[in-house]
Structure 1
Amino acid sequence: MAAEALGTPCWADATFSDIEAAKRFYGELLGWTYGESLPEFGNYTQAYLDGRAVAALMPPMPGQDVPAAWCLYLASPDAEATTAKVRENGGTVLVEPMRVGEFGTMVLAADPGGAAFGIWQAGTHEGFQARTVPGAYAWAEVFTRQPEKSDAFFPAVFEYGVKRMDDDSVDFALYDLGADPVLGRMKMTDDFPPEVPPYLNVYFTVADCDAAVEKAQAMGAVLRFGPMSMPFGRFAALTDPEGAPFSVIDGTTTEGDPPALKDAS
């Protein structure tokens, strides 16, 4: 498979202090199996769905005290050039371009509002080997308190088009590459406690949203929103037992008409 186009969500991984507990949780919930940990790469452990790579889990680096969180990576054919664009457009580079063996080159960055994300220049590891099937990545959204900054930053860095939802009750936008939406952007309302930082919310596909929520809660996850049906599927937002936010969505259970969108200008 060819490497993804600039700005395409191409990979997701997460950091957990109790990686064995995280492996059990996501394995039970999403049907993942796991490859061998790679000590030379910080015990990075790849997750598989029917033999196809779908995500990865890892422990914090020694001495590092970071909250559990998912990180979404956006593809770049030139990590150095994209890193320069991050800086030029007011973003913050958290980890400089770093070669990861033969697998590729990674960067960690944040937009001007503080939402962290990754950049991935593929080597032998080109990203997700499955999408939008139960257990695999489905979608992601930038959750931010400063939507105007995100709406300027991400298109400048990744050449996205921007369309905003034509609805005064919600501040939501879609970032697209041509005709294809690749990422959403949602303004964080006062419903979010002030201590919750901006973040990229990763959605995983499930066959039955309500059943997945019930299973997740039984294993210690906390339901934050939903389940709710919308034109794109039935979804729910949760935090896993270690506190990392994520969402699940059943794209086959839909309700209502797609929202009206308008070009940002």
Structure 2
Amino acid sequence: MSESEIPVGAPCWIDLMTSDLEKSKAFYTALFGWSYETGDQEKYGGYVTASKDGKMVAGLMHNEPGSGYPDVWTTYLRTNDINKTVELATTNGGQVHLPPMDVPEQGRMGMLGDPSGAAVGLWEFGGHTGFQLQAAIGAPAWFELHTKNYPAALKFYQDVFGWQTSVMSDSEEFRYSTLGTGEEARAGLMDSAAFLPEGAPSNWQIYFDVENVDETIAKALELGAQVIQEVEDSPFGRLAALTDPTGAAFKLIED
């Protein structure tokens, strides 16, 4: 995807914090056909960029022992002014988990907590302008916030990131809005107060596009993954949720 195709406020990048970098790399290569390039240790701390068919799709970094954080996938939203976004976030009920920092020659990053407790990354473009491939086999396809405080989260992303949202459903059983409408939608926001287990925080979830969900699950299980949401057919495709061999959760979708 080119820079012009990723609007400000939309998901523009994902990365995985993993306690076993080599195991994770092998897993996602087997599952999605990814290849990798490792950045300079001094400049980028050995940050690994994953590509599919030569196009960048994700990053991986080492989760240091004792960090206190579980292995996790993070979604980053694009900002044109990271300092202003952080300022808006703090005045609209958000928290700053990681203040803006320069990534040499690539851009600027930060990490927020929204009012419902979900962590979300920030990325201001420099040399790195986000995904080069999206909504294709082996690439991220959809991004979805599962929130325990739907009204507060919705208002936060509208006010801080300028989201123009569209209501897909507003019933007690299923409350869901999207960033954008129809084919132009970029992300979803779901009222998950009734679904998230007790103690589980609000969180961003990432779907990866695959040719065959059932075959991909079988392969993933052989490689040490676990299924946390059984495969199901939905109006948007065949879906399932897994954790990878080190415990990071992700989803699969077959259109």
Instruction: Tell me which interval the TM-score lies in, with the shorter structure as reference length.
Output: over 0.9
1:172 and 2:176 correspond = yes
- Matched residue SS, 1:107: strand
Query: 1:65 deviation in Å?
Result: 2.9
- Matched residue SS, 1:7: coil
How far apart, CA to CA, are the structure 2 residues paired with 1:33 and 1:141?
A: 25
Opposite residue 182 of structure 1, the aligned amino acid is R
- Matched residue SS, 2:25: helix
Cα 1:177/1:170, change in 2 over 3 Å: closer
Please say which of residues 55-64 and 27-36 is displaced more in the overlay.
Answer: 55-64
Q: Can you list the C-alpha shifts for 1:237-257, whole angstroms capped at 9, x where unaligned?
A: 111121111101112xxxxxx
How far apart, CA to CA, are the structure 1 residues paired with 2:64 and 2:103?
A: 15
Partner of 2:115: 112
Query: 1:86 deviation in Å?
Result: 0.9
Q: Can you list the C-alpha shifts for 1:149-204, whole angstroms capped at 9, x where unaligned?
A: 11111111111122331443222222227982211112224543223222100111
Q: Can you list the C-alpha shifts for 1:205-262, whole angstroms capped at 9, x where unaligned?
A: 11111111111122121112231122221111111121111101112xxxxxxxxxxx
1:32 and 2:34 correspond = yes
Partner of 2:72: 69
Opposite residue 70 of structure 2, the aligned amino acid is P
Aligned positions, number: 251
1:58 and 2:79 correspond = no
| Correspondence for 1:198 among 202, 205, 208 | 202
Please say which of residues 59-68 and 39-48 is displaced more in the overlay.
Answer: 59-68
1:102 and 2:105 correspond = yes
How far apart, CA to CA, are the structure 2 residues paired with 1:166 and 1:89?
A: 24
Contact 2:165 2:181 in 1 (8 A): no
Query: Which consecutive aligned stretches of 4+ in structure 1 deviate over 6 angstroms post-superposition?
Result: none
CA RMSD of aligned residues (A): 1.8
Query: 1:129 deviation in Å?
Result: 0.5
How far apart, CA to CA, are the structure 2 residues paired with 1:235 and 1:62?
A: 32
Please say which of residues 19-28 and 185-194 is displaced more in the overlay.
Answer: 185-194
Superposed, 1:137-148 pairs within 5 Å as 137-148=140-151
Contact 1:132 1:205 in 2 (8 A): yes
- Matched residue SS, 2:3: coil
Query: 1:11 deviation in Å?
Result: 0.4
Contact 1:29 1:212 in 2 (8 A): yes
Q: With the length of structure 1 as denominator, give the TM-score of the two structures.
A: 0.89
Contact 2:149 2:193 in 1 (8 A): no
Contact 1:38 1:45 in 2 (8 A): no
Q: Which has the higher contact order (CA 8 A, sep 6+)?
A: 2
Superposed, 1:1-265 pairs within 5 Å as 1-2=2-3, 4-40=6-42, 41-61=44-64, 63-164=66-167, 165-176=169-180, 180-251=184-255
How far apart, CA to CA, are the structure 2 residues paired with 1:65 and 1:169?
A: 35
- Matched residue SS, 2:110: strand
- Matched residue SS, 1:173: strand
How far apart, CA to CA, are the structure 2 residues paired with 1:2 and 1:73?
A: 14
Please say which of residues 183-192 and 155-164 is displaced more in the overlay.
Answer: 183-192
- Matched residue SS, 1:6: coil
Please say which of residues 189-198 and 19-28 is displaced more in the overlay.
Answer: 189-198
Opposite residue 231 of structure 2, the aligned amino acid is P
